[in-house]
Amino acid sequence: MPRKKDHEPHDAVFKAFFSDAIIARNYLLHYTAEDIYGHIDFSVFQKIDTAFVSGRFGISFSDVLYESRLLSGAPARLLFLFEHKSYVPKWPIHLQLLDYFLQIWEDDLKNNRPLSFIVPIVVYHGARKWQTRTFSDYFVGLPKDWEAFIPNFYYWLTDLHKIPSKEIEEKVESEYVKNLFLALKFARNKRFTLENWPNILTFGRPFYRNTREGILLQTLTLYILNFYDMTESQVKDLNQQLPPAERDWIDSIPEIFGRKWKEKGLKEGRREGKELGKIEGKIEGKIEGKIEGKIEGKIEGKIEGKIEGKIEGRKEGMEETNHAITIKSIQKFPDWSDAEIAEFVGVTAEYVQQVRKALAKQ
């Protein structure tokens, strides 16, 4: 199983998109069978609190739950569990899903509700091939009749590795599922991502700041440029291919300003390092030789200045970036807890609480 930092960026962008009910609904309409979406009453399709979901078999920050009911009006509480994977799990996925089921049903019992019917959905975009197996396949050597004692169940899998990019692009009515899935599908193919920058980051219609579309575009762009550690000049050159609305929004992303801070800090650190190096070099030169000391001083000063400048610049840039993204996240996802936003942005829950209080006073 990969380290948390390896899949955390994928989890964050997935949750940001699938926490939007319109996107989740359009995914069901375009990526599941009619036997599934044809029975859903989308007039009561809404995201619910997932605080109680914390699987022991591979915890993922991107787990999202939606509640609906049957279109026929039959009494039922349908829950659609969206579980994102950027890697093939070490344990059978059934164990993690079963853990979710039990916690959801336990919550049903505590609240005197009928047991919910759960449709587990897994969206996968890892490099390895996903082998779909029944739970009974993991019990080798059992008599056939004994399979009746195994809790076999089906989960709906969307394996982006198997879906051609053209097919994803042709689903024009799928809102921004197309943009997200293209980014995830080629998350390990930088060349394709750069060549298809307009396809991934053109949202298809004008939008403005502080709107749902703008924040989603910002989130997706941040995911790409951070994942590939892209420079500001690279992003600006690629953005010339985008419509003006998308280009203007991306140019104003706080992360770009954060990178400017880092670059500014780096340059200032180098300049101060050179000056310090000259002084130290002159002092050492009096003792060990003026020329040799000046050279050593310059080298040491440049290295120290570069390191200090980079650290200070990165710190200031990230602080400003995190603050801006925290505000946007609170506005975009008002039902997220402080802990969820903290993990999404990369700050503490206490910091999110402070920002939330400051916004409430405005």
243 within domain boundaries: no
Task: Tell me the C-alpha to C-alpha distance, in Å, between residue 359 and each of 209, 283, 328, 330.
Answer: 18, 53, 11, 9
Question: 318 and 172 in one domain?
Answer: no
| Structural domain contains residue 221 | no
pLDDT digits (tens, 9 = 90+) for 166-178: 999 888 777 789 9
- Tell me: do 181 and 262 sit in the same domain: no
Quote the number of domains for the chain. Answer: 2
Write the CA distances from 325 to 191, 299, 304, 342, integer angstroms: 28, 38, 31, 10
CA-closest candidate to residue 37, choices 80, 94, 92: 80
The secondary structure of 18-79 as a DSSP string is HTSHHHHHHHHHHHS-HHHHTTB-GGG-EE---TT---SSS--TT-EEEEE-BTT--S--EE
Residue 336 or residue 261, greater confidence: 336
Q: Is residue 249 part of a domain?
A: no
Statement to judge: residues 62 and 167 lie in one domain? yes
pLDDT tens digit string along 285-336? 444 444 444 444 454 555 555 545 544 544 555 566 677 778 877 877 777 7
Q: 137, 135, 188: which is closest to 160 by C-alpha? A: 188
**Same domain, residue pair 175 and 32:** yes
Q: Which two tokens stand for residue 204?
A: 């298809």
Query: What are the tokens at 99?
Result: 């853990």
In a domain, 218, yes or no: no
292 lies in which domain range?
Answer: 254-361
CA distances from 243 to 162, 205, 224, 253, 255 (A): 30, 9, 18, 16, 20
Q: Is 222 helix (H, G, I), strand (E, B) or coil?
A: helix
Residue 223 lies in a domain: no
For residues 116 and 104, give the distance between their C-alpha atoms in angstroms, rounded to a whole number. 8
Same domain for 273 and 175, yes or no, is: no
If you count them, how many residues does the chain have? 362
Q: What is the reported pLDDT for 273? A: 53
Domain boundary among 169, 186, 203: 186
Strand partners, 362: none
Q: What share of the chain is helix, strand, coil (3-state, %, to 5)?
A: 60, 10, 30
pLDDT of residue 5: 47
Q: Beta 64-68 vs 46-47: how paired, if at all?
A: antiparallel
Give buried/exposed letters for 23-40 (b at 16+ CB in 10 A, else e): bbbbbbbbbbeeebbeeb
- Please give the average per-residue pLDDT across 53-58, as a whole number: 56
* 206 CB-near residues (< 8 Å, 6+ apart): 243, 245
Residue 226 inside a domain? The answer is no
Same domain? For 166 and 259 the reply is no
Q: Tell me, yes or no, whether 16 lies in a domain.
A: yes
- On whether residue 203 sits in a domain, the answer given is no
Q: Tens of pLDDT along 103-152? A: 889 989 999 999 999 999 999 888 788 888 889 888 988 898 998 999 98
Residues 30 and 176 in one domain: yes
Q: Write down which residue in 129, 151, 186 finishes a domain.
A: 186
Residue with tokens 């019990």: 139
What pLDDT band is residue 339 in, cutting at 50, 70 and 90?
confident
H or E element in which residue 101 lies? helix 93-110
Pair type for strands 78-85 and 117-124: parallel
Q: Indicate the pairing of strand 117-124 with strand 156-159.
A: parallel
Domain boundary among 186, 208, 225: 186
User: What pTM value is reported for the model?
Assistant: 0.69
pLDDT at 1: 36
Which of 169, 206, 160 lies closest to 187 in space, CA to CA? 160
